[in-house]
Amino acid sequence: MDNKNSRRNFIQQSALLGAGVMLAGSSQLFAETKNTNKMKKRKLGNLEVSALGAGCMSIMANYGPPADRNQGIKVIREAYEKSVTFFDTAEVYGPYTDEELVGEALAPFRNKVIIATKFGFDIEAGGTLNSQPAHIRKVVEQSLKRLKTDRIDLYYQHRVDPKVPIEDVAGTVKELIKEGKVLHFGLSEASAKTIRKAHTVQPVTAVQTEYSIMTRDVERNNVLKTCEELGIGFVPWGPMGMGYLTGKINAQTKLDPKTDLRSGFDRFSAENLMANMPIVDLLEQFAVKKNATPSQIALAWLMAQKPFIVPIPGTRNMEHLHENLGAINVQLTPADILELNTASSKIIIHGGRMNEMQMQVVDK
């Protein structure tokens, strides 16, 4: 993306990067959180968080006009009341407005939650990659102000900048950690090789990449294996297949190209929406068996893969939030996991996970 891109193009083309999205739920909630199991904890490196986090991007950006601010605050605070302690945002979401919303929503209980945000784009230059040390130092101050806090618990590089050695990026964040402005370092959409290089300079606490039962690149490119070997947590964004795995999207679904980034993704063409229905059918079959919803099966499957995986489904809807959190009550047995993995391995997924331009800035 060059510097001549308009703000509109920037928002439409690059703001999606790196967060989990869940757009649809179910009018009938099965595995709810009321009077059932309490939220569990998991470790990202040595950072303890709730077993399910909250991706906040979709509240203020990328899927239609921003939600009503008060509604967004209510959803975030309800997540906290339901024992979610891990909240994900980025400067690029909005841009800026999502960090502002998260900062306001979490201010009353700032010391009881973990806030993750991201750097790596030069928004003023139209969204080009920029992880120069001076730029990181500039934007961290701006994020701190928007988030109404004196430290960022987990600071991700949003996309690897090929023009800046990852050792320099890790070194800059290491300095910010020494200064107390950042507590933990993360990487988003980074390759196994990059993760290893960064980890030698400053231990990486978490890696964030799209991962779901229909998007399993990290199982094949050594990213998940590298995280396990190095003791790094893994945070899947898009755990619901960007809303597709909820079962509420089909070939007749109309996505507005002006407001919905998915409209430009091959996977969301009418043809591929139809072709990929077998994976949704599989989740729906298990949902009936487990008295749950397809969304909850998708999240439970992710959490069952590794103990250091913390999905971050996102929503602006209170009912969908409760549905997401109900996934902690879905118990998948080893036999269930084997059956899901065996069945899903036979299903061909059609269409790339993002568009060509966005995949160009994914570290290979």
Residues with catalytic roles? 93
Rounded CA gap, 117 and 92, in Å? 10
Of 35, 19, 23, 43, nearest to 326 by C-alpha is 35
**Dihedral class, residue 2 (left if φ above 0, else alpha if ψ from -120 to 50, else beta):** beta
For helices 334-345 and 277-289, the axis angle rounded to 10 degrees is 160
Query: 99-122 burial, b if ≥16 CB within 10 A, otherwise e?
Result: bbbbbbbbeeeeeebbbbbbbbbb
Sequence-separated (6 or more) residues with CB below 8 Å from residue 218: 209, 211, 224, 234
Compute the distance between CA of residue 97 and CA of residue 77 in angstroms, rounded to an integer. 17
As a residue count, the chain comes to 364
R_g (Cα) of the chain, nearest Å: 19
Q: Packing angle between helix 294-305 and helix 277-289, nearest 10 degrees?
A: 90
Closest CA to 350 of 265, 281, 253: 265
Helices (H), ranges, 83-149: 97-106, 133-146
3-state helix, strand, coil split of the chain in percent (to 5) is 45, 15, 40
Hey, what are 265's tokens?
Answer: 């993704």
